[in-house]
Amino acid sequence: MTSLNNDTLIKALLKQPVTRTPVWMMRQAGRYLPEYRKVRGQAGSFLNLCTNPELACEVTLQPLERFAFDAAILFSDILTIPHAMGLGLYFSEGEGPKFERPVRSAADIAKLPIPDPEQELRYVMDAVRLIRKSLKNRVPLIGFSGSPWTLATYMVEGGSSKSFARVKGLLYEQPALMHEMLDKLAQSVSAYLNAQIAAGAQTVMLFDTWGGMLSSEDYLEFSLRYARRVREQLHTVSDGQRVPTVLFTKGGGQWLEAMADSGYDALGLDWQTDIGLARARVGERVALQGNLDPVALYASPEVIRGKVQAVLEKFGAGSGHVFNLGHGILPDIEPSHVAAMVDAVHELSPVWHR
C-alpha cells in the first residue's frame, strides 16, 4: 500500500473532504508546451511518441515541472485498442487519426480480437509502470481509454468524421452487429483499464468524445450501456486503495442523470453544462470534473482568474469537484495562461472547503 504525497484528486473524486479543489487539465501533456514539441520532434511521429515508454513518460511528467497540477495523466492515444486489434492506425498531417483497415462488414467484426493488454498493448503498461516509478508518489497517475462507442466511430469511419454517417448507418441498419462490435470493445476496454490499474494507474477515465453526436435514445443504447459494462468489469481497489472511475461524454450534458446511475465515481463536464445545475441534478451520487471553456485560456490572466472564480462559485461549497477544462487544451495556448488558471484554483478554492 502506497501513500500519495498529494491525494487531493483521489479524495475529491470520492467526495471526501479536501482543503482545496484539485486541478489538472485534459491534454496537459501536449503541443502548447515547447518542451513537448521538442520531444515530439525527436520521436519523429506521434505514434512513435505513444509507443515509446521512455518518451511517453517524459512528456507525461513535463507539465508537472511547470505547473502545480494535482495529477499526471498517462500520455497515450485513445485509439491504441483498435490499433492493437490490427486496424493499422496512422496519422495524416492535418487530418487526424486514420485506419488502414476500417471495420465495415460482419466478417470484419467477427474477426476483431480482444487484445491482451500485456502483449499487444505492453508499451502502454510499460509507460504506466515507468511513470508511476518516476512520479515517486508526488501526485496520482490517471489512466484512460476511449469509450467503446467512441472507438467504434473511428473504427467504422476509418478516421475522424463530421456526420458519422457510416457508423450510424451500421447502428440503424444492423443494430445486432453494432452491439456485437461494442461488446468486444467493452471487453477490450475493461481489460485495458484493468491492466493500467494493475500497472499503477490510481484512477481511470473513460473518454466518450463522440457520445454527444447520438440521439438521446441511441446514446443510452449504444454508448452509455457499454460504458456501464466497462465499469462493471473494473477492479476499483488496487494496492489497498480505491481507484476512482470517471466518465466523460462530450456533449452529454442532457444525460447526466443516466450517466450518474452508471456506477462511475465522477462525471466529466464539457463547458456548455452549468456545473451548479449539474451538481443539483446529480450531486450526491457522483463527483464532477470540469468545466472551464478551453477557449477562455486565450484571455488575459485577469479574465482567466474571474472565469475560474465563476466555476468554483457555481459548484459551491464542499468536496466532489475536480477543476478541469471542459475539453482538451488548445495547442496554441500560452503556457503562462495555464499557470494563471492553476494558481487561481489553488488560491480561490480553499474558501469553499472550510
Nearer to a second copy, 191 or 311 (CB): 311
Beta strands in 222-351 (DSSP E): 237-238, 241-242, 245-249, 266-268, 287-292, 321-325
Amino acid identity at 188 = S
Q: Select the residue interacting with a second copy from 60, 273, 319, 324 (CB under 8 A).
A: 273
Of 121 and 296, CB closest to a second copy? 296
> How far apart (Å, rounded) are the C-alpha atoms in residues 234 and 243?
9
CB 293 within 8 A of CB 307: yes
Pick the closer one to a second copy by CB: 28 or 194: 28
Alpha-carbon distance 327 to 89, whole Å? 23
214 binds a second copy (CB under 8 A): yes
User: Residue 277 interacts with a second copy (CB under 8 A)?
Assistant: yes
Nearest CB to a second copy, comparing residues 65 and 173: 173
Contact segment (CB under 8 A) with a second copy among 25-33, 74-82, 192-200, 213-221 equals 213-221
Choice from 295, 317, 318, 347 touching a second copy (CB under 8 A): 295
Dmax (CA) for the chain in angstroms is: 59
Is residue 218 a contact residue for a second copy (CB under 8 A)? yes
Here's the x/- map for a second copy, 163-202, by CB under 8 A: it reads as xxx--xx--xx-----------------------------
Least separation in angstroms between CB 100 and a second copy: 24
Pairing of strands 237-238, 241-242: antiparallel
100 and 109 Cβ atoms separated by less than 8 Å: no
Segment contacting a second copy by CB under 8 A, of 6-14, 150-158, 207-215, 225-233: 207-215
Positions marked active-site: 27, 31, 40, 77, 154
Q: Is 334 in the site for a second copy (CB under 8 A)?
A: no
Q: Which is nearer to a second copy, 217 or 284 (CB)?
A: 217
Give the shortest CB-245-to-a second copy separation in angstroms. 24
Q: Are 70 and 23 in contact (CB under 8 A)?
A: yes
Burial 30-45 (b: 16+ CB within 10 A, else e): bebbeebeebbeebee
Closest by Cα among 214, 207, 276, 206 to 234: 206
C-beta neighbour count of 105 within 10 angstroms: 11
Tell me, what DSSP letter sits at residue 31?
T
Q: CB under 8 A: which stretch of 4-12, 27-35, 50-58, 265-273 binds a second copy? A: 265-273
Asked if 310 is part of the footprint of a second copy (rule: CB under 8 A), the reply reads yes
Contact stretch for a second copy (CB under 8 A) within 29-37, 113-121, 235-243, 271-279: 271-279
- And the C-alpha cell for 227? 460504458
Minimum CB distance to a second copy smaller for 53 or for 326: 326
Kindly state whether residue 312 participates in binding a second copy, applying the rule CB under 8 A.
no
Q: What does residue 7 show for φ and ψ, rounded to 5 degrees?
A: -110, 25
| Whole-number Å distance between alpha carbons of 22 and 17 | 12
C-alpha cell read off for 209: 468524445
Contact flag: residue 253 with a second copy (CB under 8 A): yes
Interface region with a second copy, contact rule CB under 8 A, candidates 26-34, 57-65, 288-296, 338-346: 288-296
Least separation in angstroms between CB 214 and a second copy: 7
User: Are 54 and 130 a contacting pair, CB within 8 Å?
Assistant: yes
DSSP assignment, residue 272? T
Least gap, CB of 53 to a second copy (angstroms): 32
234 binds a second copy (CB under 8 A): no
Closest CA to 320 of 8, 4, 76, 44: 8
- Interaction site with a second copy (CB under 8 A): 163-165, 168-169, 172-173, 212-219, 251, 253-254, 271-274, 277, 293-296, 298-300, 303, 307, 310, 326, 330
